[in-house]
Structure 1
């Protein structure tokens, strides 16, 4: 799928009308006007992130699940006796609305005891997520849009950059999509190879999952609704509310994973200039 033509068709509808991120833009620009990335993972620590692991309070990094070693942000379970559905999420402390998120990841080692079969080589980037401070102790997933990251098992096809929807729905081709997950059109990435996944997020008007320069999934009007999230505060789930900004999370679902890059290009300065926005996206991709 051609990213430029696809993006232009959306821009032409005039749908990009949402508010920019509540945070001030920290994105510097190069001489040609291309924004420079904000390094959400600085390579040294996770001081700018907040962990939330099921059965534990907000801010408790149970069993050192999320850690930085050798310049990598790692998810590990070496201090777990058993996983026990202790789904974990690590939230970056600044919410965003219009951006390109770039993540470089690899699955490693073996799944921890007690992890579900579906969680083999399974993680995710949660987009437009609820504030981690509003998650309850027993809540399993943040209300969010998940860019699901999957690794292959060495033989079968298994796409990555899929969509899952804990407490949310999306619109696809003008129809409300309510099933929990939707597979992308990506190839399968086996073994421990590094994979770079891009997520183009334009408020509530367009989200694209991109691998190797190709759009493998797209949708719009992400909104609160449906199920697939448990033990949440009902006040955080107003049905039908469009999601035009939120927090970005990295996920812990029982299989070790490394992240070497988590960076974000803030596109909010260009949201009211359709031509400039399209030009910037083409340069970044």
Structure 2
């Protein structure tokens, strides 16, 4: 009788094989195919002032067409909803920022997880209901970790305790402006999310749930209070523009069979 391979060996080999076979690019390096822009005050699909553009194979959040920023918070939304997956890319935040951007938005971007569909966002909605993996860069001498978590319209739990504040810093080091940073997020429905910066897990949280009482703060449509606490297990990913230029490259996705 043929002997079965040891379980430990199978577990060790399977992730490596899956990783090699299942990563796929979701940005083609030529145009915005597969992505939908949603700029605050503009309808979904209107890439106002070419906020999102492609240059030399890099996806750029650009403010070259702006004289001044006036709360045109922007999101480039991947067209396919997802539940359990891994997403990885490289990003760098470059300068200078555009005049008029909020102080907190300087050297600030993010990737939104389990967000709303582009057509479900209101015309005057600054951010999608989602969980944000915040992407930051620090000025010289500044301590400013990246890979933080923020919660527009949702709640999460960290180490078994509901997160009370809007944003929580990760354990990452500070990366300076103009440096490319490798970022990965691992998402398992509403159960678990990990942020990984340069190969190191810097933030982990779970129990993602809707918190509609917050929606009015960023312009989302009022939601039925009865939906409060509903698990948020599926949605759209989006790359964020908040008034400071940022570049993305090598954007890849691996869907997980959960």
Is structure 2 residue 238 aligned with structure 1 residue 249? yes
Which has more radius of gyration?
A: 2
Report 1:28-177 matches (<5 A). Answer: 32-34=17-19, 35-177=21-163
Instruction: Tell me the CA shift for residue 107 of structure 1.
Output: 1.0
Residue ranges of structure 1 left out of the alignment (5+ in a row):
1-28, 272-285
Instruction: Tell me the CA shift for residue 264 of structure 1.
Output: 0.8
C-alpha contact 2:95 2:177 (8 A) present in aligned 1: no
Q: What is the TM-score of this pair, normalised by structure 1?
A: 0.81
User: How far apart in 2 are the matches of 1:31 and 1:216?
Assistant: 22
Partner of 1:179: 165
SS at match of 2:214: coil
Instruction: Tell me the CA shift for residue 213 of structure 1.
Output: 2.2
SS at match of 1:63: helix
C-alpha contact 1:88 1:253 (8 A) present in aligned 2: yes
| Correspondence for 1:227 among 195, 209, 214 | 214
Partner of 1:258: 247
Instruction: Tell me the CA shift for residue 78 of structure 1.
Output: 1.2
SS at match of 2:49: helix
Deviates further, 233-242 or 48-57: 233-242
C-alpha change, 1:32 and 1:163, in structure 2 (3 Å) is closer
Residue ranges of structure 2 left out of the alignment (5+ in a row):
1-13
SS at match of 1:118: helix
User: How far apart in 1 are the matches of 2:30 and 2:15?
Assistant: 25
User: How far apart in 1 are the matches of 2:17 and 2:203?
Assistant: 30
For this pair of structures, how many residues does the alignment match?
241
C-alpha change, 1:236 and 1:41, in structure 2 (3 Å) is farther
Deviates further, 59-68 or 236-245: 236-245
Q: Segments of 4+ in structure 1 off by > 6 A? A: none
C-alpha contact 1:124 1:146 (8 A) present in aligned 2: yes
